[in-house]
Amino acid sequence: MSISIQDTIKAIREMIPIIDPEEDYLTIAAAEEQMSITEEERRKEMEEAQSRVRSLARVLEAARVSSTRPSTLPSAEQHAAMLNELDETRLSMIKAINDAEGALAGKEAELARVQEELRNLKESDPSSEHNLDATVLRLAMYKGLGFEPVLGRDGRVAKMLVRSMTGDVHCVNFDHTKSDAEYADLLWKLASS
């Protein structure tokens, strides 16, 4: 299947009337110009693509840096341990609050009982429950102050023994030579001496 040179020359000669070198030149020049325009466009596209790749690489690096755990944050194990510790603290606080609420409820119940008791005591009249002799109480108070009455044969106070602050005991006879005010002054004077 080899073509002879003669056949090739003959084919070229037959094509000479069809071939217009000026038109072919213009076609080739236009093709070269189009190729240089296309090459320039591809070069610009390539630069833009490289610029976008560099930009995306920076974004990727920034995302990689931001997605890594900073050194100031605890590790996952430390974080889990901290959560466990906080849970334990929360549970102990809940228990302490429950205990305190229980104690508070007990104290409130005790307060209510004491208030009820106080109300009952305020409403009660202890003197009506007992038959008290006021004379005996007065004599006990006088004796506590240092005055001890001595009754005569008629059942009235005939004299008064007065114990002074120094511990001396004085005897005052009620012979009705002085007024009640003078006897009172004398008794208080002896008691405070």
The angle at the Cα of 59, spanning 56 to 64, to the nearest 5 degrees, equals 125
pTM of the model: 0.32
Q: What is the spatial distance between Cα 171 and Cα 81, in angstroms, rounded to a whole number?
A: 90
pLDDT beneath 70, residues of the chain:
1-2, 126-133
What is the predicted pLDDT for the residue at 133? Answer: 67
Provide the β-strand partners of residue 170. 162
What is the predicted pLDDT for the residue at 26? Answer: 85
Q: What is the spatial distance between Cα 65 and Cα 72, in angstroms, rounded to a whole number?
A: 14
Nearby residues of 88 by Cβ (< 8 Å), 6 or more positions away: none
What is the predicted pLDDT for the residue at 131? Answer: 64
Give the residue from 129, 131, 130, 165 showing the smallest Cα distance to 147.
165
What is the predicted pLDDT for the residue at 174? Answer: 84
What is the predicted pLDDT for the residue at 126? Answer: 66
What is the predicted pLDDT for the residue at 22? Answer: 81
Give the residue from 148, 152, 139, 129 showing the smallest Cα distance to 187.
148
Phi, psi of 132 (to 5 degrees): -100, 140
**Cβ 139 vs Cβ 151: under 8 Å:** no
Give the residue from 160, 126, 159 showing the smallest Cα distance to 145.
160
What is the predicted pLDDT for the residue at 11? Answer: 85
Classify residue 143 by its DSSP letter: H
Q: Cα dihedral angle (78, 82, 87, 92), rounded to 10 degrees?
A: 130
Tell me the two tokens of residue 44.
């610009």
For 59-84, the pLDDT digits (tens) are 999 888 887 777 777 887 888 899 99
Tell me the two tokens of residue 4.
């002879």
Domain coordinates in residue numbering, the chain: 146-192
